[in-house]
């Protein structure tokens, strides 16, 4: 059985459907730009709610990184 293959367009769709990433640039898929935006938000977070939102976004990005590593053909 072959492993499913995803494209960067698939990652864009997944990211756009992830509420934790709504405030961040997900189109077109650019992993580095997305991580930079989330880390900038982390540096700017002042309230507990802002820090929790950024933590959720980081978690979503870690999952997307794993998906990209295992399922996106380069």
Map out the domains of the chain as residue ranges. 8-71
Q: Tokens 């992993």 identify what position?
A: 31
Q: What's the sign of the alpha-carbon dihedral 63, 69, 71, 74?
A: positive
Angle between helices 48-71 and 8-16 (to 10 degrees): 150
pLDDT in tens, 17-44: 999 999 999 999 999 999 999 999 999 9
Q: Residue 69 has what pLDDT?
A: 92
Instruction: Tell me the pLDDT band of 65, cut-offs 50, 70 and 90.
Output: very high
């Amino acid at each position: 059985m072959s492993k499913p293959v995803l494209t960067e367009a698939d990652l864009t769709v997944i990211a756009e459907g992830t509420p934790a990433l709504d405030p961040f640039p997900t189109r077109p898929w650019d992993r580095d730009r997305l991580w930079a935006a989330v880390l900038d938000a982390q540096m700017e977070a002042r309230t507990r709610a802002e820090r929790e939102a950024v933590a959720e976004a980081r978690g979503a990005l870690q999952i997307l990184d794993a998906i990209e590593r295992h399922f996106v053909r380069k």
